[in-house]
A and B are shown apart, each in its own frame.
Chain A
Amino acid sequence: MIKQFGYFLEIVKGSLITTRHFVVNMFFHILNLVGIKTKRKGAVTRQYPEAPIEVARRHRSLHRLMLREDGKPRCVVCMLCATVCPSECIFIEATEDPDPEIQKYPSNFIIDLNRCCFCGFCVEACPEDAIRMDTGEVELARYSRGDLVYDLEKLTG
């Protein structure tokens, strides 16, 4: 009997908690509704598409390929990124560069974002700092899979 009374007390306490949340939040909602600005808001919700969220500086977002000063990609096709990539989403084709100091540059660099798991290993592996994941672009929804296969032009542009 005492045990059950204990349950009953907890039930009442539970509803008091939810009531408190309701009343306090409602208070701030009404204050905001009538135009009084308060530091505390009635809800923790962020109105995402209207108020975009700033991604952290080190957040791993869409890749980009860095360029040399003369506009050529920095990538030298060492394929370390393709090697380390756990989802095998990087494909690079090498071409001969006439400059004997560069020798090798990518004629095609494909990242299949359908497969990419954004682990950032490619960035870690790159010896030339040619690939970075710092664009801050996280809204990578497309209407077709083909649009998510990024080639050299999309990655440098």
Chain B
Amino acid sequence: MVKIYINDREIEVKEGTTVFHAALDAGIPIPHFCYHPAFAPEGTCRMCLVEVEGMPKLELACSLQIREGMKIFTQNERVREARRGVLEFLLAEHPLDCPICDQAGDCKLQDYYEEYGLFDSRFSEVKDKRGKKIRLGKYLLHDQERCVLCRRCVRFLREVTGTGEMGVFERGGHTKVDTYEEGQQVDNNYSGNLAQLCPVGAITDTDFRFQTRSWFLEAGESICPLCSRGCRITIQAHRGFARFKLPKRVYRIKAVDDPLVNGPWICDKGRYGYSYLDENRATRILKKGESSPDWQEAIDWLSASILRLKHRNRLERVSVVLSSRLSNEELFLAKKLFKDDLGVGRVFFADAPPEEGDDMLLTPDRVPNTRGARELGWEDVPVDMEALNRETDLLLMFGPDFENAHSLSDILGCFEQIETTVLLTPFDGSLSSQVDLLLPTTPVAEKAGSLTNIDGVLRNFQPALPALGHSRAEWSLLIDLGKALDLRFQYYSRLSSPEAVFQEMTGEIPFFEKNVE
């Protein structure tokens, strides 16, 4: 450990770190454009200048290694003056089109100008015209006028994706970032990260373009459920206006740095595939096609149906179709309830069919919790339509994947033999009106729990959005069903939250015990 002083404060830091990280750990952020923890320090933006005692010039915080007894000043007048100078030169060519720039509100240049600048421009010259609204990829637009030449995008494309479509051209005041070939497109699955990387509005999403302004959005952290990588994301949703109905809640998804899972990146599939959160959602309880708002009644009806079979000793004719979209807790509760307490006849798993993954983040699974299901002892038994047809009186289906995997006529043909069919799904489909009971549930973004990713990394999540309509999280449903069945009332009453269920899980299954964060 090394002792240094930042703004006359004594701080102990690990040897070998940079001034930037030492200050960040001490809670002193240093302004920067070009530095990004995923890349080696580049030192092009000159925004992170700090004063170090004994050094004649200001030093770059991002690349300066700390030494014993170093005295660093990050906020004195000399440093602020230098930053103001940097900003003035950046703004000399920066178009002040913040009103139409989608980065406004998230923009580092705006923030630093508020903090260090607040000057009137001294440049009376006409600003250079450069390329605006250049199509850079399926989801990207490039505006060269707004660029501050931090080269984050260039480095990302060279170091992370390895495709290297972009580079820096010309020199001096004419320097610009551009693609090597005219009209070249960044078309890999990670292009969306460029928009998130860009500290200003030079590279922006077409998906978010002009949809709303960033300060209307409220962010909530969650886990991307679209593949079994389980990337950590933040879901940015509009809180809505009092009088005007907005077409959707979720406007944008951004990556959150999680070194063990996804690093600072996410793929475009997860970034732009959020429409499922607002579209085609099941929001109402449907009993034989009729809407009813009463959850208790629905659960009582379901438990009564199960108990009727139990009294006739026909529980082996109950089938359950589970889904790997469920969280660890829910799969655990399902195991307790259906296997241990009820002993139902058959448990199947219906998951979305695997698709092609890539060698970076995207995995072939299109459901988030295959690994968790395996660790919990569930076997991946595909749905046996024949068995359903012949040996089932009551069918409980979780998730939308069962109905997606089979044609409606097959499913309906199968249902003819089944007395009671119950569907628990967040999404509205053609099956919704065909089942005896539809219980609207929540996707990952609207509930709490934990997921195990493909590498066995366990991650907790909290609701990032409020549950839509009458929908409810599956874990609470399963607990209520357990209580209503009155098999082990005490046991299910104790499990009042996902945390309590997780506690129970860690006691029983060693995998989760060693994974406790």
Chains A and B touch (C-beta atoms under 8 A apart): yes
A residues neighboring B (CB under 8 Å) = 76-80, 82-83, 87-89, 91, 94-96, 100-104, 110, 112, 115, 127-128
Q: How far is the CB of A46 from chain B (nearest CB, A)?
A: 35
Starting from the known contacts A103-B132, A112-B243, 6 additional A-B residue pairs (CB-CB under 8 Å) come to A77-B100, A78-B99, A83-B213, A87-B242, A88-B241, A127-B98
Q: How far is the CA of A101 from the CA of B212 in the complex (A)?
A: 20
Task: For B104, list chain A residues within 8 Å (CB).
Answer: 78
Separation of A15 and B176 alpha carbons in the complex (Å): 87
Q: Which residues of A contact B269 (CB under 8 A)?
A: none
> Which residues of the partner chain B approach A112 to less than 8 Å between Cβ atoms?
243-244
Residues on A with beta carbons closer than 8 Å to the beta carbon of B244: 91, 110, 112
- Are A115 and B100 neighbours in the complex by a CB distance under 8 Å? no
Chain B residues near A87: list those with CB within 8 A.
Answer: 242
Total CB contacts across the A-B interface at under 8 A: 50
**B102-116 near A? 1/0 per residue, CB < 8 Å:** 001000000000000
- CB pair A78–B243 under 8 Å, yes or no, is no
Nearest-neighbour CB distance to chain A for B500, whole angstroms, equals 40
Determine the chain A residues whose CB is within 8 A of the CB of B132 once the complex forms: 100-101, 103
Q: Tell yes or no: B489 within 8 A of A by CB.
A: no
Chain B residues with Cβ under 8 A from A96's Cβ?
209-210
Interface residues of B in 249-263 (CB under 8 A from A): none
B210–A77 CB distance below 8 A = yes
**What are 17 pairs between A and B in contact, CB < 8 Å?**
A77-B99, A79-B212, A79-B213, A82-B241, A83-B213, A83-B216, A87-B242, A91-B243, A95-B210, A96-B209, A100-B132, A102-B100, A103-B132, A103-B133, A104-B210, A127-B99, A128-B99
CB distance from B364 to the nearest CB of A (A): 37
Count B-side interface residues using an 8 Å CB cutoff.
18
CA separation between A5 and B441, bound complex, in Å? 84
Digitize B213-251: 1 where CB-to-A-CB distance is under 8 Å, 0 elsewhere.
101100000000000000000000000011110000000
Report Cα–Cα, A127/B97, bound state, in Å: 10
* In the complex with contacts A83-B216, A100-B132, A91-B100 CB distance below 8 A: no
Within 8 A of A (CB), among B351-380: none
Residues of B within 8 A of A127 (CB): 98-99
Known contacts: A78-B104, A100-B133, A128-B99. The answer to whether A115 contacts B213 by CB under 8 A is no
In angstroms, how far is the closest chain A Cβ from the Cβ of B247? 10
Report the bound CA distance from A58 to B163 in whole Å: 59
Which A residues touch B211, using CB under 8 A?
94
A115 CA to B243 CA in the complex, in Å? 9
- A130 CB, nearest partner CB in chain B, Å: 10
Nearest chain-A residue to B242 (Cβ)? A88
Inter-chain contact A83/B243, CB cutoff 8 Å:
no
Interface residue from B98, B216, B241 paired with A78 (Cβ < 8 Å): B98
Nearest-Cβ distance from residue A150 to partner chain B, whole angstroms = 13
From residue A148, how far is it (CB to closest CB) to chain B in Å? Answer: 12
Q: Is the CB of B100 within 8 A of A103?
A: yes
Closest CB-CB distance, B286 to chain A, in whole Å? 33
Query: B212 — which chain A residues lie within 8 A by C-beta?
Result: 79
A80 to B215, CA, bound (A): 10
Residues in B whose Cβ lies below 8 Å from that of A94: 210-211
CB-based contact B99/A80 at 8 Å: yes
Q: How far is the CA of A96 from the CA of B102 in the complex (A)?
A: 13
Chain B nearest Cβ from A40, distance in angstroms? 49
The residue of chain A having its C-beta at the shortest distance from the C-beta of B129 within the complex is: A101
Please name all residues of chain A whose beta carbon is closer than 8 Å to the beta carbon of B98 when the two chains form the complex. Answer: 78, 127
B85 to chain A, nearest CB (A): 26
A80 to B97, CA, bound (A): 13
Query: Which residues of B sit under 8 angstroms from A115, Cβ to Cβ?
Result: 242-243
- In the complex, which residue of chain B has the Cβ closest to the Cβ of A94? B210
Q: List residues of chain A with CB within 8 A of the CB of B209.
A: 96
- Count chain A CB atoms within 10 A of each CB in B104, B133, B216, B244 and give the residue with the most: B244
Residue of B nearest to A89 (CB): B243
Min distance, Cβ A80 to any Cβ of chain B, angstroms = 7
Contacting residue for B243 out of A76, A80, A88, CB 8 A? A88
Closest to B212 in A: A79
Task: Determine the chain B residues whose CB is within 8 A of the CB of A76 once the complex forms.
Answer: 99-100
Bound complex: CA A112 to CA B241 (Å): 12
A15 CA to B400 CA, complexed, in Å: 86
